């Protein structure tokens, strides 16, 4: 008997499924996360070698308007991707949502990657390593303890709004120190988000909802990497 199918039929979350079904769900989810990360790396390399990242960087650095447009565009496409990957959607729609989000995130990250390669050699590797270590440690904590951390949702929402206010202030009136504060706060927020979302994957998602679970986790990993890279570049710039 396929235990995953049996539990899916009754709508049980992954945490309540038999061990083999739960492990299969976790394996499928993280294989999709790994594929999404690999896709982002591949597309980023293609954009960089084609010179597109450099042009996007020049456009983004031309004023506040392009940066705001890119941030709002990523948010809109992220919402669209989440809708497409909701439970009950066809497999084609869910995978399309994941692909759309990976492409959007890559386009958003590509200017910072070009900046890092041009002016801060070595920082890219450090940011990737720190991201892997942090994500691995946070994931291992949730998967081994099986703690239900979904109560963090409202806390993260309030913290996110506060951080958004800091971001707006730093763009229009802030200096380098406020930018550092925002970036450090964003890293802490994304660590909390990974704890929350990993717990949510186990306690709220069914064992057939691995694509939607992977999309959520991929977004948090990508933004965590982006903020760590930004922080390392800011610190390197202050030392020069």
pLDDT at 229: 92
pLDDT at 36: 93
Is 22:207 a contact under the CB 8 Å cutoff?
Answer: yes
Residue of higher predicted confidence among 32 and 87: 32
pLDDT at 143: 86
| Residue range 171-198: mean pLDDT, rounded | 82
pLDDT at 2: 47
For the cut 50, the answer to whether the pLDDT of residue 4 exceeds it is no
In a domain, 68, yes or no: yes
Output the 3-class SS for the chain: CCHHHHHHHHCCCHHHCCHHHHHHHHHHHHHHHHHHHHHHHHHHHHHHHCCHHHHHHHHHCCCHHHHHHHHHHHHHHHHHHHHHCCCCCCHHHHHHHHHHHHHHHHHHHHHHHHHHHHHCCCHHHHHHHHHHHHHHHHHHHHHHHCCCCCCHHHHHHHHHHHHHHHHHHHHHCCCHHHHHHHHHHHHHHHHHHHHHHHHHHHHHCCCCCHHHHHHHHHHHHHHHHHHHHHHHHHHHHHHC
For the cut 50, the answer to whether the pLDDT of residue 10 exceeds it is no
pLDDT at 239: 61
In a domain, 3, yes or no: no
Mean confidence (pLDDT) of the chain: 82
pLDDT at 138: 93
| Residue range 149-175: mean pLDDT, rounded | 79
- Total tally of structural domains belonging to the chain: 1
Closest CA to 100 of 30, 40, 25, 152: 40
In a domain, 1, yes or no: no
Residue of higher predicted confidence among 208 and 137: 137
Is 97:81 a contact under the CB 8 Å cutoff?
Answer: yes
**137-162 core/surface letters (b: 16 or more CB in 10 A; e: else):** ebbeebbeeeeebeebeeebeebeee
In a domain, 188, yes or no: yes
Closest CA to 201 of 1, 28, 3, 78: 28
pLDDT in tens, 96-143: 888 988 988 888 888 888 888 888 878 989 999 999 999 999 999 988
Share of the chain above pLDDT 70, in %: 87
In a domain, 9, yes or no: no
In a domain, 198, yes or no: yes
Give the range of the structural domain holding residue 174, as residue numbers without chain letter. 15-235
Q: 88 in the Ramachandran plot: left (φ > 0), alpha (ψ -120 to 50) or beta? A: left
pLDDT at 97: 87
In a domain, 7, yes or no: no
- Span of 20-24, 65-69, 165-169, 222-226 with lowest mean pLDDT: 65-69
In a domain, 63, yes or no: yes
For the cut 70, the answer to whether the pLDDT of residue 210 exceeds it is yes
For the cut 80, the answer to whether the pLDDT of residue 69 exceeds it is no
Q: How confident is the model at residue 1 (pLDDT cuts 50, 70, 90)?
A: very low
What is the CB neighbour count within 10 angstroms for residue 49?
9
């Amino acid at each position: 008997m396929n235990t995953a199918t049996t539990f899916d039929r009754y709508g049980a979350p992954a945490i309540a499924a038999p061990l083999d079904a739960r492990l299969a769900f976790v394996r499928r989810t993280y294989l999709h996360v790994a594929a999404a990360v690999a896709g982002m790396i591949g597309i980023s390399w293609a954009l960089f070698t084609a010179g597109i990242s450099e042009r996007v960087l020049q456009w983004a650095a031309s004023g506040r308007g392009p940066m705001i447009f890119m941030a709002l565009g990523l948010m809109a496409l992220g919402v669209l991707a989440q809708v497409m990957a909701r439970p009950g959607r066809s497999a084609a729609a869910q995978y399309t949502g994941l692909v759309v989000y990976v492409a959007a995130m890559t386009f958003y990250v590509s200017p910072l990657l070009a900046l890092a390669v041009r002016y801060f050699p070595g920082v890219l590797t450090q940011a990737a390593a720190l991201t892997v270590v942090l994500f691995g440690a946070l994931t291992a904590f949730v998967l081994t303890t099986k703690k239900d951390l979904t109560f963090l949702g409202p806390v993260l929402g309030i913290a996110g709004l506060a951080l958004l206010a800091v971001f707006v202030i730093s763009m229009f009136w802030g200096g380098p120190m406020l930018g550092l504060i925002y970036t450090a706060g964003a890293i802490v927020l994304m660590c909390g988000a990974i704890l929350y979302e990993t717990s949510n994957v186990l306690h709220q998602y069914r064992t057939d909802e691995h694509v939607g679970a992977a999309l959520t986790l991929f977004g948090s990993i990508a933004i965590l990497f982006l903020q760590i890279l930004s922080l390392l570049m800011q610190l390197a710039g202050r030392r020069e």
